[in-house]
Structure formats: structure tokens, C-alpha cells
Amino acid sequence: PLSMAMKLISVQGRAATGPSRPFLCEAEDGRSFFVKGNNVSPDQLLLEWMLGNLARDCGLPVAPFELVEIPELLASQSVGLSRGEFVPGIAFGSQRVPFGEDLGESHLRHVPDEMKISLICFDWWIRNSDRRLGRFGGSPNLVWDPALQGIVIIDHDQALDPDFDEGEFFREHVFRDVRPFIDRGTIPRLRDAFEKATGNLERNWDRMPGEWLEDEFGSSRTKRTMDQLKNELANPKLPVDGILLH
């Protein structure tokens, strides 16, 4: 995959927020990326790639992302910045939205209800409790794109959460207010699109860098296999229509 990866040429710093504080880097084609590599676990890289692709295949507005290469020289020049978290190899790069800002209360009314419903259903099915916005703030992991006048989705590395709390999800999800408007006809339509998108899982898995999945001795670095991931998405622990208000 080295030849497919976009080469990074400079590091401009780190994000101020987010548990992993991704590195802001410039690629050789002039685009800026938020980069995750050794600052997250191999399992988080796997989820970021696989579920980012799944969201994109469902037609959701995911920030453009790709595999990026951290060259040895760049990593060695950035030692002070990273405490061993910015190391040579293939990393995950999420393209920075020019002039984008974290989604806030003021943007909510500009997001169409249909988009809100699609996203809260998607997050329910992938057990992603990491899109919160309450009265006291929170991180919705959504960026407002002023050029498109719409939302851009980022960050899926906390999904398939084993400790997913459904009560908390419905209290804190950024689009919780549309829940009463989700009707029984909507669920099968969105679920069909979701299940169709899971048909691409194997293809997307095969495009992942081998170094994320196995160490140099051939031992697995991730807890999940392709089959486990497929099973978790096809047979969710919570009812598919559990998002409906009964």
C-alpha cells in the first residue's frame, strides 16, 4: 500500500481537542490532513478506516480520507512534537475542511431533518456514542463546512462500543431531537442502504495496510477479524428499530 498512500511533507502541529489529538500535516499535493497513526490503537485505526468507508458507502457526508505515508525523515524531525506517536509508516489521514468549524448549537437548524435522521440511525447501528452535544458543549465529531453550508462527518474510532449505553445515547446525541420524527417506514429504507454498504466490507478490509493488522512477526495487532466485524454489523446487539419511540 506504500505506493497508494499520499506522502506527507510537513507537520504543522496537533489538534487542540480529541483524545488522540491528531497531527495536522501537509501532503505533497498541498492538502492538509488530520493524521492518526501511533497516537491511537490498531483497533481504532481499523474502525476509523472500515466505518469511515461504511458511512461513505451509505451516502453520508464523510470528510474525505485516505491512507497517508509518514516518511522516516519527517518523523525524525518531529520527535519533540510527538512522544513516539508520530512514527514512520502508513497512517490514517482525514482531510481538513478549509475554514471548517466544530458544529455548534447555532448550526443545528441549518441541518435538514432527513440528514439528522440518517446519521442518528447510522450511529445507533454502529453503537457510536461519540457524537455528543449538550447544553454544556461536547464533541459532536461533526464539522460545519461554510463552503457547502452543510455538515461533514469525522471520527469513527470509538464505535462498536462494548459499553454502549442506549439511555445516554438518546440523551446526548447531537441529533436526539429528531427521534420523535423517525417513523416505521424510514427504518427499512435506511437499513437497506446500510446492509448494501456492508457488502463492501471485504473489499475495504483488503485495502487496509497489513502493518495495522499484523506485527513484523505475523501476530495479530487487532482484536477484531473481518468476520467478527461483519457479524457485529449484520447482527447488532440492540434491535435495529430500537431507535423508534414506542
Q: What is the pLDDT of residues 71-95, one digit of tens each?
A: 999 999 887 776 789 999 999 999 9
The pLDDT-based confidence of 16 (bands split at 50, 70, 90) is: confident
Q: In whole angstroms, what is the distance from residue 50 CA to residue 204 CA? A: 7
Closest C-alpha among 174, 170, 16 to residue 105: 174
Please give the average per-residue pLDDT across 54-60, as a whole number: 98
Q: In whole angstroms, what is the distance from residue 119 CA to residue 117 CA? A: 5
The pLDDT-based confidence of 1 (bands split at 50, 70, 90) is: very low
Tell me the H-state helices in 138-225.
166-172, 186-198, 201-206, 210-213
Per DSSP, 14 falls in state E
Percent with pLDDT over 90 in the chain: 87
Please give the average per-residue pLDDT across 119-137, as a whole number: 91
- What the block records as the C-alpha cell of 239 is 434491535
Please give the average per-residue pLDDT across 121-128, as a whole number: 98
Q: CB-based contacts of 126: which residues, under 8 Å, 6+ apart?
A: 51, 54, 156, 159, 160, 233
Q: In whole angstroms, what is the distance from residue 227 CA to residue 146 CA? A: 39
Mean pLDDT for the chain overall: 93
Q: Bridge partners of 13?
A: 24
Query: In 102-123, which positions are buried (b, 16+ CB within 10 angstroms) versus exposed (e)?
Result: bbeeebbeebeeeebbbbbbbb
CA distances (Å), origin 117, targets 2, 13, 142, 150, 242: 38, 35, 15, 15, 14
Please give the average per-residue pLDDT across 132-147, as a whole number: 87
Whether pLDDT at 19 is above 90: no
Closest C-alpha among 174, 102, 104 to residue 133: 174
- What the block records as the C-alpha cell of 157 is 474510532
- Asked whether the whole model's pTM tops 0.85, one would answer yes
Q: In whole angstroms, what is the distance from residue 238 CA to residue 197 CA? A: 19
